[in-house]
């Protein structure tokens, strides 16, 4: 039995039930978010996937085999070595880059119209 299976089997039933309820809510919000541009649907689906991986060893194995999660984990490990002020600076620069990309996209759309 692997560590993941052992950890998942030792979780109390009430914890698993609460996780399943939160996963269901996140999936519903995520699907609505894919339709409505106001809600970040992908974020909620990602949270649901992470929670499901926490309670299901089989799903965690599937999730670990994807390249996207590998890149996210690698990025997270590289951020964890930074101090809190450095993390805040990095967050600011990522947010600034996102805003710049959004403005560029809007300008392109306006020029096309």
pLDDT digits (tens, 9 = 90+) for 62-85: 777 777 777 777 777 888 888 989
**Residue with tokens 């089989």, as numbered in its chain:** 58
CA–CA separation, 5 vs 61, rounded Å? 10
Distance CA 89, CA 76 (A): 15
User: Could you tell me the pLDDT band of residue 7, with boundaries at 50, 70 and 90?
Assistant: low
Q: Which residue has the higher pLDDT, 28 or 8?
A: 28
């Amino acid at each position: 039995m692997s560590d993941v299976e052992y950890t998942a089997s030792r979780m109390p039933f009430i914890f698993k039930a609460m996780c399943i309820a939160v996963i269901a809510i996140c999936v519903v919000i995520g699907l609505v978010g894919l339709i409505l541009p106001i809600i970040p649907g992908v974020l909620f689906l990602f949270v649901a996937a992470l929670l499901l991986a926490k309670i299901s060893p089989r799903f965690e194995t599937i999730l670990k085999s994807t390249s996207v999660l590998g890149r996210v984990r690698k990025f997270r490990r590289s951020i964890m070595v930074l101090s809190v002020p450095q993390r805040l600076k990095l967050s600011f620069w990522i947010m600034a880059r996102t805003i710049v990309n959004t403005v560029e996209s809007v300008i392109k759309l306006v020029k096309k119209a």
